[in-house]
Amino acid sequence: MSSNADKNTDKNAAPPLPEPLRVPVADSHTHLDMQSGTVAEGLAKAASVGVATVVQVGCDIKGSRWAAETAATYDNVHATVALHPNEAPRIVHGDPDGWSRQGEREPGGAGALDEALAEIDRLAALAHVKGVGETGLDYFRTGPEGKEAQERSFRAHIEIAKRHGKALVIHDRDAHADVLRVLKEEGAPERTVFHCYSGDAEMAGICARAGYYMSFAGNVTFKNAQHLRDALAVAPQELVLVETDAPFLTPAPYRGRPNAPYLIPVTVRAMAAVRGVEEDTLASALAVNTARAFGY
Ligand SMILES: [Zn+2]
Ligand SMILES: [Zn+2]
Protein backbone atom coordinates (compact mmCIF):
# COMPACT_ATOMS: atom_id res chain seq x y z
CA MET A 1 0.00 0.00 0.00
CA SER A 2 1.32 3.40 -0.87
CA SER A 3 -0.37 6.74 -1.14
CA ASN A 4 0.56 9.37 -3.72
CA ALA A 5 2.50 11.23 -1.08
CA ASP A 6 4.60 8.13 -0.47
CA LYS A 7 5.18 7.77 -4.19
CA ASN A 8 6.49 11.30 -4.46
CA THR A 9 9.02 10.78 -1.72
CA ASP A 10 10.00 7.26 -2.79
CA LYS A 11 13.67 7.40 -3.76
CA ASN A 12 13.09 5.16 -6.78
CA ALA A 13 9.91 6.77 -8.08
CA ALA A 14 9.98 8.81 -11.27
CA PRO A 15 9.86 12.52 -10.40
CA PRO A 16 6.59 14.32 -11.31
CA LEU A 17 6.12 16.12 -14.64
CA PRO A 18 7.46 19.67 -14.40
CA GLU A 19 5.50 22.62 -15.73
CA PRO A 20 5.91 22.66 -19.55
CA LEU A 21 8.37 25.01 -21.21
CA ARG A 22 6.65 27.60 -23.41
CA VAL A 23 9.53 27.45 -25.91
CA PRO A 24 10.48 23.87 -26.91
CA VAL A 25 14.08 22.77 -26.43
CA ALA A 26 16.22 19.70 -27.12
CA ASP A 27 17.83 17.30 -24.68
CA SER A 28 21.30 17.39 -26.24
CA HIS A 29 22.52 14.15 -24.63
CA THR A 30 20.49 11.21 -23.41
CA HIS A 31 20.58 7.43 -23.18
CA LEU A 32 17.04 6.22 -23.92
CA ASP A 33 18.33 2.64 -24.05
CA MET A 34 19.15 2.81 -20.32
CA GLN A 35 15.79 4.27 -19.25
CA SER A 36 12.61 2.45 -18.22
CA GLY A 37 9.55 2.41 -20.50
CA THR A 38 9.43 2.42 -24.29
CA VAL A 39 11.09 5.01 -26.51
CA ALA A 40 7.68 6.21 -27.72
CA GLU A 41 6.54 6.74 -24.12
CA GLY A 42 9.70 8.58 -23.17
CA LEU A 43 9.47 10.87 -26.20
CA ALA A 44 5.76 11.58 -25.64
CA LYS A 45 6.34 12.44 -22.00
CA ALA A 46 9.22 14.74 -22.96
CA ALA A 47 7.20 16.41 -25.74
CA SER A 48 4.35 17.05 -23.29
CA VAL A 49 6.60 19.44 -21.33
CA GLY A 50 8.30 21.09 -24.30
CA VAL A 51 11.27 18.79 -24.81
CA ALA A 52 10.63 18.29 -28.49
CA THR A 53 13.92 16.78 -29.62
CA VAL A 54 16.52 14.42 -28.16
CA VAL A 55 20.05 13.44 -29.11
CA GLN A 56 20.49 9.73 -28.43
CA VAL A 57 24.11 8.92 -27.61
CA GLY A 58 25.88 5.63 -28.33
CA CYS A 59 28.56 4.28 -25.98
CA ASP A 60 29.53 1.00 -27.64
CA ILE A 61 28.91 -0.82 -30.92
CA LYS A 62 25.56 -2.24 -29.89
CA GLY A 63 24.37 1.07 -28.43
CA SER A 64 25.58 3.02 -31.44
CA ARG A 65 23.73 0.76 -33.86
CA TRP A 66 20.64 1.14 -31.70
CA ALA A 67 21.00 4.93 -31.65
CA ALA A 68 21.24 5.05 -35.45
CA GLU A 69 18.19 2.80 -35.85
CA THR A 70 16.16 4.79 -33.34
CA ALA A 71 17.03 8.07 -35.05
CA ALA A 72 15.93 6.56 -38.38
CA THR A 73 12.59 5.59 -36.79
CA TYR A 74 11.72 8.85 -34.99
CA ASP A 75 11.93 12.29 -36.63
CA ASN A 76 12.71 14.04 -33.35
CA VAL A 77 15.58 11.71 -32.38
CA HIS A 78 19.10 12.34 -33.63
CA ALA A 79 21.93 9.89 -33.05
CA THR A 80 25.58 10.03 -32.13
CA VAL A 81 27.86 6.98 -32.31
CA ALA A 82 31.06 6.10 -30.47
CA LEU A 83 33.03 3.88 -28.18
CA HIS A 84 32.84 5.50 -24.73
CA PRO A 85 36.24 6.48 -23.28
CA ASN A 86 35.87 3.66 -20.76
CA GLU A 87 34.84 1.22 -23.49
CA ALA A 88 37.97 1.57 -25.65
CA PRO A 89 40.46 0.23 -23.06
CA ARG A 90 38.07 -2.58 -22.26
CA ILE A 91 38.04 -3.71 -25.88
CA VAL A 92 41.85 -3.82 -25.88
CA HIS A 93 42.53 -5.18 -22.38
CA GLY A 94 39.23 -6.67 -21.23
CA ASP A 95 37.83 -5.44 -17.92
CA PRO A 96 34.98 -7.30 -16.29
CA ASP A 97 34.63 -4.75 -13.47
CA GLY A 98 34.39 -1.78 -15.76
CA TRP A 99 31.72 0.56 -16.95
CA SER A 100 30.24 -1.69 -19.64
CA ARG A 101 26.87 -3.29 -19.17
CA GLN A 102 28.01 -6.22 -21.28
CA GLY A 103 29.81 -7.92 -18.45
CA GLU A 104 32.88 -10.02 -18.76
CA ARG A 105 34.81 -9.81 -21.97
CA GLU A 106 37.94 -11.41 -23.34
CA PRO A 107 40.69 -8.94 -24.11
CA GLY A 108 40.81 -8.33 -27.85
CA GLY A 109 44.04 -6.39 -28.30
CA ALA A 110 44.68 -3.39 -30.52
CA GLY A 111 43.20 -5.15 -33.57
CA ALA A 112 39.83 -5.42 -31.84
CA LEU A 113 39.82 -1.67 -31.20
CA ASP A 114 40.57 -1.00 -34.87
CA GLU A 115 37.70 -3.26 -35.89
CA ALA A 116 35.32 -1.51 -33.51
CA LEU A 117 36.46 1.91 -34.77
CA ALA A 118 35.81 0.79 -38.35
CA GLU A 119 32.22 0.04 -37.42
CA ILE A 120 31.86 3.47 -35.76
CA ASP A 121 33.25 4.99 -38.95
CA ARG A 122 30.63 3.13 -41.01
CA LEU A 123 27.79 4.25 -38.70
CA ALA A 124 29.04 7.85 -38.66
CA ALA A 125 28.34 8.10 -42.38
CA LEU A 126 24.59 7.51 -41.92
CA ALA A 127 22.28 10.49 -42.47
CA HIS A 128 20.49 10.20 -39.12
CA VAL A 129 23.78 10.13 -37.25
CA LYS A 130 24.57 13.76 -36.43
CA GLY A 131 27.55 13.32 -34.18
CA VAL A 132 30.51 11.21 -33.12
CA GLY A 133 30.62 10.64 -29.37
CA GLU A 134 30.62 10.30 -26.57
CA THR A 135 34.36 10.10 -26.79
CA GLY A 136 37.16 11.77 -24.88
CA LEU A 137 39.06 10.92 -21.72
CA ASP A 138 37.89 9.58 -18.37
CA TYR A 139 40.56 9.34 -15.67
CA PHE A 140 37.94 8.67 -13.00
CA ARG A 141 36.96 5.18 -14.15
CA THR A 142 39.92 4.26 -16.33
CA GLY A 143 43.28 3.81 -14.62
CA PRO A 144 46.78 4.46 -16.02
CA GLU A 145 46.88 1.07 -17.76
CA GLY A 146 43.98 2.11 -20.00
CA LYS A 147 45.19 5.60 -20.84
CA GLU A 148 46.97 4.74 -24.07
CA ALA A 149 44.01 2.90 -25.62
CA GLN A 150 41.67 5.64 -24.45
CA GLU A 151 43.69 8.41 -26.06
CA ARG A 152 44.16 6.45 -29.29
CA SER A 153 40.41 5.91 -29.48
CA PHE A 154 39.73 9.61 -28.77
CA ARG A 155 42.07 10.68 -31.58
CA ALA A 156 40.42 8.23 -33.98
CA HIS A 157 36.96 9.57 -33.11
CA ILE A 158 38.10 13.15 -33.78
CA GLU A 159 39.36 12.07 -37.20
CA ILE A 160 36.10 10.25 -37.98
CA ALA A 161 33.99 13.28 -36.96
CA LYS A 162 36.02 15.61 -39.15
CA ARG A 163 36.01 13.32 -42.18
CA HIS A 164 32.21 12.92 -42.05
CA GLY A 165 31.54 16.55 -41.10
CA LYS A 166 29.71 15.54 -37.92
CA ALA A 167 29.66 17.10 -34.47
CA LEU A 168 32.11 15.76 -31.89
CA VAL A 169 30.64 14.94 -28.45
CA ILE A 170 33.24 15.04 -25.69
CA HIS A 171 33.12 13.11 -22.42
CA ASP A 172 35.69 14.70 -20.10
CA ARG A 173 35.95 13.33 -16.59
CA ASP A 174 38.86 14.54 -14.48
CA ALA A 175 40.84 15.05 -17.68
CA HIS A 176 40.33 18.70 -18.72
CA ALA A 177 43.93 19.54 -19.61
CA ASP A 178 44.53 16.40 -21.67
CA VAL A 179 41.20 16.67 -23.49
CA LEU A 180 41.98 20.25 -24.48
CA ARG A 181 45.52 19.24 -25.48
CA VAL A 182 44.42 16.35 -27.72
CA LEU A 183 41.75 18.52 -29.37
CA LYS A 184 44.38 21.12 -30.12
CA GLU A 185 46.90 18.59 -31.41
CA GLU A 186 44.39 16.86 -33.70
CA GLY A 187 42.51 20.02 -34.64
CA ALA A 188 38.96 20.03 -33.32
CA PRO A 189 36.02 19.51 -35.70
CA GLU A 190 34.03 22.61 -36.61
CA ARG A 191 31.34 21.64 -34.10
CA THR A 192 32.58 20.27 -30.76
CA VAL A 193 30.35 19.76 -27.71
CA PHE A 194 31.58 19.26 -24.15
CA HIS A 195 28.80 17.05 -22.81
CA CYS A 196 28.05 17.28 -19.08
CA TYR A 197 30.36 20.25 -18.93
CA SER A 198 32.46 19.83 -15.80
CA GLY A 199 35.06 22.59 -15.95
CA ASP A 200 35.23 25.87 -14.07
CA ALA A 201 34.79 29.44 -15.26
CA GLU A 202 38.39 29.67 -16.45
CA MET A 203 37.99 26.60 -18.67
CA ALA A 204 34.69 28.03 -19.94
CA GLY A 205 36.74 30.96 -21.20
CA ILE A 206 39.08 28.59 -23.05
CA CYS A 207 36.12 26.73 -24.56
CA ALA A 208 34.47 30.00 -25.55
CA ARG A 209 37.57 31.20 -27.38
CA ALA A 210 37.81 27.88 -29.21
CA GLY A 211 34.10 27.95 -30.08
CA TYR A 212 33.31 24.74 -28.20
CA TYR A 213 29.74 24.20 -27.05
CA MET A 214 29.19 23.60 -23.33
CA SER A 215 26.27 21.32 -22.49
CA PHE A 216 25.04 21.58 -18.91
CA ALA A 217 23.40 18.63 -17.15
CA GLY A 218 21.34 18.25 -13.97
CA ASN A 219 24.43 18.43 -11.79
CA VAL A 220 24.51 22.20 -12.40
CA THR A 221 21.74 22.26 -9.76
CA PHE A 222 23.75 20.36 -7.14
CA LYS A 223 24.72 22.18 -3.97
CA ASN A 224 28.41 21.32 -4.35
CA ALA A 225 28.59 22.48 -7.98
CA GLN A 226 29.17 26.22 -7.63
CA HIS A 227 32.06 25.96 -10.13
CA LEU A 228 29.58 24.77 -12.78
CA ARG A 229 27.25 27.68 -12.07
CA ASP A 230 30.21 30.06 -12.27
CA ALA A 231 31.11 28.53 -15.65
CA LEU A 232 27.52 28.75 -16.87
CA ALA A 233 27.33 32.39 -15.79
CA VAL A 234 30.24 33.37 -18.07
CA ALA A 235 29.63 31.02 -21.04
CA PRO A 236 28.52 32.87 -24.20
CA GLN A 237 24.80 32.37 -24.76
CA GLU A 238 25.32 31.02 -28.28
CA LEU A 239 27.51 28.15 -26.97
CA VAL A 240 25.27 26.87 -24.15
CA LEU A 241 23.31 23.62 -24.44
CA VAL A 242 21.23 21.61 -21.96
CA GLU A 243 21.10 17.84 -21.48
CA THR A 244 19.92 15.16 -19.07
CA ASP A 245 22.57 12.46 -19.59
CA ALA A 246 19.61 10.39 -18.36
CA PRO A 247 19.25 8.06 -16.54
CA PHE A 248 22.12 9.76 -14.65
CA LEU A 249 22.46 13.18 -12.98
CA THR A 250 18.83 13.88 -12.07
CA PRO A 251 18.50 17.57 -11.17
CA ALA A 252 17.68 18.80 -7.67
CA PRO A 253 15.32 18.40 -5.90
CA TYR A 254 15.06 14.89 -7.41
CA ARG A 255 18.73 13.95 -7.15
CA GLY A 256 19.16 10.17 -6.96
CA ARG A 257 15.84 9.36 -8.63
CA PRO A 258 15.61 8.12 -12.25
CA ASN A 259 16.29 10.83 -14.82
CA ALA A 260 14.65 11.14 -18.25
CA PRO A 261 14.34 13.83 -20.96
CA TYR A 262 11.03 15.13 -19.53
CA LEU A 263 13.00 16.62 -16.61
CA ILE A 264 14.89 19.08 -18.84
CA PRO A 265 12.60 21.99 -17.79
CA VAL A 266 13.88 21.67 -14.20
CA THR A 267 17.46 22.21 -15.36
CA VAL A 268 16.52 24.94 -17.86
CA ARG A 269 14.83 26.95 -15.08
CA ALA A 270 17.83 26.57 -12.79
CA MET A 271 20.12 27.67 -15.64
CA ALA A 272 17.97 30.73 -16.40
CA ALA A 273 18.21 31.75 -12.75
CA VAL A 274 22.02 31.37 -12.77
CA ARG A 275 22.33 33.51 -15.90
CA GLY A 276 19.71 36.01 -14.78
CA VAL A 277 17.68 35.70 -17.98
CA GLU A 278 14.03 34.90 -18.74
CA GLU A 279 13.25 31.22 -19.14
CA ASP A 280 11.87 31.79 -22.67
CA THR A 281 14.97 33.70 -23.74
CA LEU A 282 17.26 30.91 -22.62
CA ALA A 283 15.01 28.19 -24.09
CA SER A 284 15.02 29.91 -27.50
CA ALA A 285 18.81 30.08 -27.43
CA LEU A 286 19.15 26.45 -26.33
CA ALA A 287 16.89 25.26 -29.17
CA VAL A 288 18.79 27.19 -31.82
CA ASN A 289 22.19 26.25 -30.38
CA THR A 290 21.46 22.50 -30.28
CA ALA A 291 20.22 22.48 -33.86
CA ARG A 292 23.32 24.41 -34.96
CA ALA A 293 25.70 22.21 -32.97
CA PHE A 294 24.37 18.97 -34.41
CA GLY A 295 23.38 20.30 -37.83
CA TYR A 296 19.74 19.17 -37.93
ZN1 LIG B 1 29.62 11.03 -20.51
ZN1 LIG C 1 26.37 10.07 -21.64
The answer on whether 41 is annotated among ligand-binding residues is no
20 CA to centre of ligand 1 in angstroms: 26
Q: How far is the CA of 196 from the centre of ligand 1 (A)?
A: 7
**Per-residue model confidence as pLDDT tens digits over 146-155:** 999 999 999 9
* Alpha carbon of 195 to ligand 1 centroid (Å): 6
Q: Which ligand is nearest to the CA of 30?
A: 2
The pLDDT of residue 12:
84
pLDDT-derived band at 1 (thresholds 50, 70, 90) equals very low
Can you give the pLDDT at residue 87? 94
Answer yes or no: is 93 a known binding residue: no
CA 84 to centroid of ligand 1, rounded, Å: 8
- 78 annotated binding-site participant: no
What pLDDT is recorded for position 102?
Answer: 52
Is residue 68 within 8 Å of 78, Cβ to Cβ?
no
User: Cα–Cα distance between 188 and 222 in angstroms, integer?
Assistant: 30
What is the fold, at CATH topology level, of the domain defined by 22-294?
Answer: TIM Barrel (3.20.20)
Q: Model-level pTM?
A: 0.94
Ligand-binding annotation for 171, yes or no, is yes
Please tell me the distance between residue 4's alpha carbon and the centre of ligand 2 in angstroms.
Answer: 31
- Give the pLDDT confidence of 253-296 residue by residue, as tens digits: 999 999 999 999 999 999 999 999 999 999 999 999 999 999 99
Q: For residue 99, what pLDDT is reported?
A: 47
pLDDT in tens, 23-70: 999 999 999 999 999 999 999 999 999 999 999 999 999 999 999 999
Residue 109: its pLDDT value, please? 83
Q: Kindly indicate the confidence band of residue 104, based on its pLDDT and cuts at 50, 70 and 90.
A: low
Taking the centre of ligand 1 as the mean of its atom positions, its distance from the CA of residue 157, in whole angstroms, is 15
- Residue 280 CA to ligand 1 center (angstroms) comes to 27
pLDDT at 103 over 70: no
